[in-house]
Amino acid sequence: MSAIRPVDRIVKGIPLSAIDFPVASEARPVISLAEPGDYFALLKPRVMSLVVLTAATGLLAAPGTLNPVLAFVSLLAIALGAGASGALNMWYDRDIDRIMTRTAKRPIPAGRIAPENALAFGMALSIFSVMLLGLAANWFAAGFLAFTIAFYAVFYTMWLKRSTVQNIVIGGAAGSFPPMVAWAAVTGGVSWEGFVLFLIIFLWTPPHFWALALFKMKDYGAAGIPMLPNVAGERSTRRHIFAYSLILAPVGVLPYALGFASPVYGVASALFGLNFLRLAFDVLRMRDGDEAMVPAKKLFAFSIFYLFVLFAWLLVEGVLSHVWGSYGV
């Protein structure tokens, strides 16, 4: 087995270049006839649904109004941009996707779509989504979307993911940009309120994915991905999860503190944040070598619910605000 590219990053006094991570071979599977559902799977629909939720929240929370048709088209463009990023990610990661149990059935490693077709699909969708957003909203938002796609597909997928233990921390910014892109679609710029929406997702990403990495260590190790548990160990990972959760809990309340969410949201986000912190503390107290990983699995599951509830709540409040405003309430 060969090693991944050496890097200078030091973790606990050990350079990653001294750790021999295995790399998957490039054996090409037999390609069968692709169906429309296979191309849809390339878009990572579960990730795309989260992007739609957070971007819609940014659209409705932003000051000002956008024509309903143009707002829908803008949201579609942002969703397609996220899907394009997913397709390019799957094209590049096809070697490690074939090894990991949770990704082995994806269209490329399963032999349902040829890599070159996935690349062409992702590139075409990237260009189309950026042009569509520029025409529907403004070119600042379109440029922001183009940057987001490049950040995820190139900076994260092609570099960070395989070269540094901080891959999720830095690369998580890509998944945090959609509400800011949507905010820019309405306002033509960015603001502190939009940045707060970004910050919630950005701080949520590490504990969410590190909880997953704790009970998927073997998968990541086999694929040669330097995730935190594989490099720094379980104890360090648990501490990092708790530290990020400590920051995330109060940040989740900021939309209320800054005045673009209701007191009801403020109370709900605080309670959900405290529960997030409680589950993170349970992870912190886990013993090394705990194969069941029940606390980590509980935190991972709740983290999805936590982010969904916060943004769904903000979305509903945004809809009600626009409806009341339309009727002069």
Q: Domain 36-188 belongs to what topology?
A: Tetracycline Repressor; domain 2 (1.10.357)
Q: What is the pLDDT of residue 76?
A: 97
Mean pLDDT of the chain: 88
Q: What is the pLDDT of residue 23?
A: 44
Counting other chains too, the contacts that 288-291 makes at CB distance below 8 Å and 24 or more residues apart are 288/233, 288/234, 288/235, 289/234
**What percent of the chain stands above pLDDT 70?**
88
* Of 31, 54, 36, nearest in space to 201 by CA: 54
Answer whether 137's CB lies under 8 Å from 70's CB: yes
Q: What is the pLDDT of residue 27?
A: 52
Chain segment 186-224, per-residue pLDDT in tens: 999 999 999 999 999 999 999 999 999 998 888 888 888
Residue 90 has pLDDT above 90, yes or no: yes
291 or 100, greater pLDDT: 100
Q: What average pLDDT does this structure show over 312-320?
A: 93
Residue 328 has pLDDT above 90, yes or no: no
Q: Which of 31-35, 60-64, 185-189, 194-198 has the lowest mean pLDDT?
A: 31-35
Residue 29 has pLDDT above 60, yes or no: no
Q: Where are the domains of the chain?
A: 36-188, 191-329
* Of 180, 195, 201, nearest in space to 58 by CA: 180
pLDDT confidence tier of residue 20, bands split at 50, 70 and 90: very low
Q: What is the pLDDT of residue 329?
A: 38
Chain segment 252-262, per-residue pLDDT in tens: 999 999 998 99
Residue 2 has pLDDT above 90, yes or no: no
Q: What average pLDDT does this structure show over 239-253?
A: 97
Residue 276 has pLDDT above 90, yes or no: yes
Q: What average pLDDT does this structure show over 41-58?
A: 94
Q: What is the pLDDT of residue 323?
A: 73
Q: What is the pLDDT of residue 3?
A: 40
Q: What average pLDDT does this structure show over 154-173?
A: 89
Q: What is the pLDDT of residue 64?
A: 80
Q: What is the pLDDT of residue 261?
A: 94
Taken as a whole, the chain contains a residue count of 329
Answer whether 58's CB lies under 8 Å from 182's CB: yes
DSSP secondary structure letters along 146-208: HHHHHIIIIIIIIIIHHH-TTHHHHHHHHHH-HHHHHHHHHHSS--HHHHHHHHHHHHHHHHH
Q: What average pLDDT does this structure show over 33-40?
A: 85
Q: What is the pLDDT of residue 91?
A: 97
